[in-house]
Structure 1
Amino acid sequence: MITALLFAAAVVPAGQTFQCTPTRVWDGDGPIWCAEGPRIRLSGVAARELDGSCSVGHPCPDTDPIVARDGLVQLIGKPTGQSREGHVLVRGPTMTCRSDGGAGGDRTAAFCVSPQSGDVSCNMVAGGLAAKWQRYWRGHRC
């Protein structure tokens, strides 16, 4: 199962709705690993990298990267530990996501709604955990 989680991800085509049961999180904008296979990069938002930096051309929120990552974990589930690679392991309810297509590599950009917290991207912005990235927000409504 771990092999499937780490290596069997495929990009979900843009416009397709899919399910994601979160199993692990890297940082405040993803990726979020889904038990169903995809790795999600949250659409419409940007968070600091774990080393505190911001990628060139990305919005750069003030929030500490660990605070942002832990906030994302709380929005989608509960932390259950840490992987050898440094991911926060998560157990949470299945989310419904809409793909915006590829987000580089094997990641799917998506807006997701959690039964636990609602629209994840909207809540990351509203909580000050991530910055809205207008280029990729594309008129999304909270």
Structure 2
Amino acid sequence: MTSARRWASVAAMLFALLLAATVIPDGQVFACTPTRVWDGDGPIWCREGMHVRLAGIAAREMDGSCRPGQPCPEASALAARDALVNLLGGAQGRTSTGHILVDGPTMRCLSTGNARGNRTGAWCAAPSFGDLSCAMIRTGTVLRWDRYAHGRCRSR
């Protein structure tokens, strides 16, 4: 491999790592076009490079457990994931790692900051479903997490 090709390969790898590690600062508005989903509260992979953890809600983990100290919905992790996928337009396939591929509408999101690791916590909305966290609560597959909901998604 020539040094120019090696450099191009290294540069491409560094760019990919930079995109994968993008965390949007608290209070910033950003666009997210969903491309894949892991579970009912995220992360949602965005075409723009970030991974979004939906703010103000809690879903079961994919192994069926609930993390200590967070609300634990009765619905299964698969039911919550499938509800999120359906809100985002339906499944378009699956990756070898189990992520569900989606081709969702571009959402307008408001960051709540780092949500552990390389995830951005965010409130996201699109005209087709409104606030995504609130829409997920309405599916009955996730619970409102009062500690992080900050008055949003209250029942009428």
1:83 match:
95
Length-normalised TM-score, structure 2: 0.84
Change (3 A) 1:62 1:141: closer
Change (3 A) 1:6 1:54: farther
Deviations 1:72-113 (A, max 9, x none): 011122211000111000011100100000000000000100
Q: Quick one: distance in 1 between partners of 2:68 and 2:78?
A: 20
* Identical positions, percent: 55
Q: Is the helix fraction higher in 1 or 2?
A: 2
Question: Is residue 123 from structure 1 mapped to residue 146 from structure 2 by the alignment?
Answer: no
CA-CA distance at 1:5 after TM superposition: 8.9
Change (3 A) 1:5 1:132: farther
1:74 match:
86
Question: Is residue 41 from structure 1 mapped to residue 59 from structure 2 by the alignment?
Answer: no
Q: Is the strand fraction higher in 1 or 2?
A: 1
* Matched-pair contact (CA < 8 Å) for 1:94–1:115: no
Q: Which blocks of at least 5 consecutive residues in structure 1 are unaligned?
A: none
Q: What root-mean-square deviation, in Å, do the aligned CA atoms of Structure 1 and Structure 2 show?
A: 1.9
Q: Quick one: distance in 2 between partners of 1:35 and 1:135?
A: 29
Question: Is residue 107 from structure 1 mapped to residue 119 from structure 2 by the alignment?
Answer: yes
Length-normalised TM-score, structure 1: 0.92
Change (3 A) 1:18 1:65: same
CA-CA distance at 1:127 after TM superposition: 1.6
Deviations 1:103-139 (A, max 9, x none): 0000000010022211110011122111000000012
Rg comparison, structure with higher value: 2
* Matched-pair contact (CA < 8 Å) for 1:24–1:90: yes
